[in-house]
Amino acid sequence: MQKNIEDFVIHPDIHWVSVGNERLQIRQPNGDNITFDNYANEIKNVLERLKNPLSKTEVVDEDIMDQVLEILFSKGFLSNKNVNEFQFLRIADLNQNDRIKYKEKRLPKSVFIEGNGNLVKVVKESLINSKIKINENDNPNALKIVVADQDSYSLLSAENEKSVIKNQSVVFFRWISGKFRIGPFVVPGETACLECAYQRELASNLFADEMKAYMACDEKELPKYEGGPVLDNLAAALITREIMLILRGDYEIAGTSTIVTLDPLLLEIKHSSILRVPRCKVCSKGAQKPSRNYRNLVQESNN
Ligand SMILES: [Zn+2]
């Protein structure tokens, strides 16, 4: 297919370096670089023209141009539309996993925020700034975000159950013992749910009785999120990243069946995978039929 250089813009987050006149390397954030051993100058002219379409100083070789455009296009380095205003989304565009998309018709377009407290205010403000559509009426097609200032088992598990029954995708975000915890992102009928996570943790915990006592704690006794500098910004970044990825269909990067815990002091991040509990009292009641198995979809895309 013939491509016209004037119709494209080059991704602003990639760049190129030359080694003498012989070699040219195109570099991108994920480290998947392309090195050319021939025609380095001619290729450079094409790249410069793409970067500054108005400059006509470089003499562009037509044959080289066609081939370079093909390569750039296949790598997703060229865009024939306006580039995204948010750099994070542009970097996500370059990720190889970008091709593993969740293409389900039920991909949410907006979010509904459940909860109240300090963290909810932070989340709402950040999502509005990120131009994410907030649904006020808990439309079941909207992605539900359950936000809690405390690790309240009763509140979180009730929301988990409600979402599974309604067949609504949900993600949990909360403050727990001086850390942020995000996840799991639950797609009912397809992924593990929050109850699966609790059951797995109970089964593997050496102090199961203590954990049960903790889960039964009165909310008033649990430490609460107050926020302030550092914490509010980290919280906003964490949840906004997660929601942007989910709304794009980047479920593989957003991480279904995963819980991420971030220690804001040490900047340590722990990823815990959760397997679905076959007899989970919430998500394996048989009411939800998976409309399409997510794991199979990932496998198909990998082939
Ligand atoms: Zn479950």
**pLDDT of 188-246, one tens digit each?**
999 999 999 999 999 888 898 998 998 888 888 889 999 999 999 999 999 999 999 99
pLDDT of residue 262: 98
Query: In angstroms, what is the span from residue 195 Cα to ligand 1's centroid?
Result: 5
Confirm if 215 and 201 have CB atoms less than 8 A apart.
no
Query: In angstroms, what is the span from residue 161 Cα to ligand 1's centroid?
Result: 9
Q: Which has more pLDDT, 231 or 63?
A: 231
Torsion of CA 240, 244, 249, 251, to 10 degrees: -30
Q: Which has more pLDDT, 88 or 2?
A: 88
Question: pLDDT (tens digit, 9 = 90+) per residue, 95-150?
Answer: 765 556 776 666 899 999 999 899 999 999 999 999 999 999 888 889 999 999 99
Query: In angstroms, what is the span from residue 243 Cα to ligand 1's centroid?
Result: 21
**Residue 113, strand partner residues:** 145
Query: In angstroms, what is the span from residue 280 Cα to ligand 1's centroid?
Result: 5
Query: In angstroms, what is the span from residue 198 Cα to ligand 1's centroid?
Result: 9
Entry pTM: 0.84
pLDDT of residue 179: 97
- Specify the CATH architecture of the domain 111-283: 3-Layer(aba) Sandwich (3.40)
* Neighbour tally for 219: CB within 10 Å: 14
pLDDT of residue 286: 58
Q: Which residues contact 134 (CB under 8 A, 6 or more apart)?
A: 110, 111, 112, 113, 124, 127, 128
Backbone angles phi, psi at 64, to 5 degrees: -60, -40
Query: In angstroms, what is the span from residue 168 Cα to ligand 1's centroid?
Result: 14
Query: In angstroms, what is the span from residue 116 Cα to ligand 1's centroid?
Result: 25
For the chain, the domains span: 5-85, 111-283
Query: In angstroms, what is the span from residue 128 Cα to ligand 1's centroid?
Result: 31
Tell me how far apart the alpha carbons of residues 76 and 10 are, in angstroms, rounded to a whole number: 9
Q: What is the 3-state secondary structure (H, E, C) of the chain?
A: CCCCHHHCEECCCCEEEEECCCEEEEECCCCCCEEECCCHHHHHHHHHHHHCCCCCCCCCCHHHHHHHHHHHHHCCCEECCCCCCCHHHHHHHHCHHHHCCCCCCCCCCCEEEECCCHHHHHHHHHHHHCCCCECCCCCCCCEEEEEECCCCHHHHHHHHHHHHHHCCCEEEEEEECCEEEEEEEECCCCCCCHHHHHHHHHHHCCCHHHHHHHHCCCHHHCCCCCCCCCHHHHHHHHHHHHHHHHHHCCHHHHCECEEEEEECCCCEEEEEECCCCCCCCCCCCCCCCCCCCHHHHHHHHHC
**Nearest to 182, CA basis, from 248, 239, 120, 263:** 239
The amino acid sitting at 126 is S
The residue with tokens 């302030």 is 228
pLDDT of residue 287: 47
Tell me how far apart the alpha carbons of residues 85 and 27 are, in angstroms, rounded to a whole number: 21
Angle at 224 between CA 222 and CA 228, to 5 degrees: 160
Query: In angstroms, what is the span from residue 109 Cα to ligand 1's centroid?
Result: 24
The residue with tokens 């909310």 is 219
Length of the chain as a residue count: 303
Query: In angstroms, what is the span from residue 194 Cα to ligand 1's centroid?
Result: 6
Spelled out in words, what is the top-level CATH class assigned to the domain 5-85? alpha beta
Residue 2 has pLDDT above 70, yes or no: no
Query: In angstroms, what is the span from residue 164 Cα to ligand 1's centroid?
Result: 9
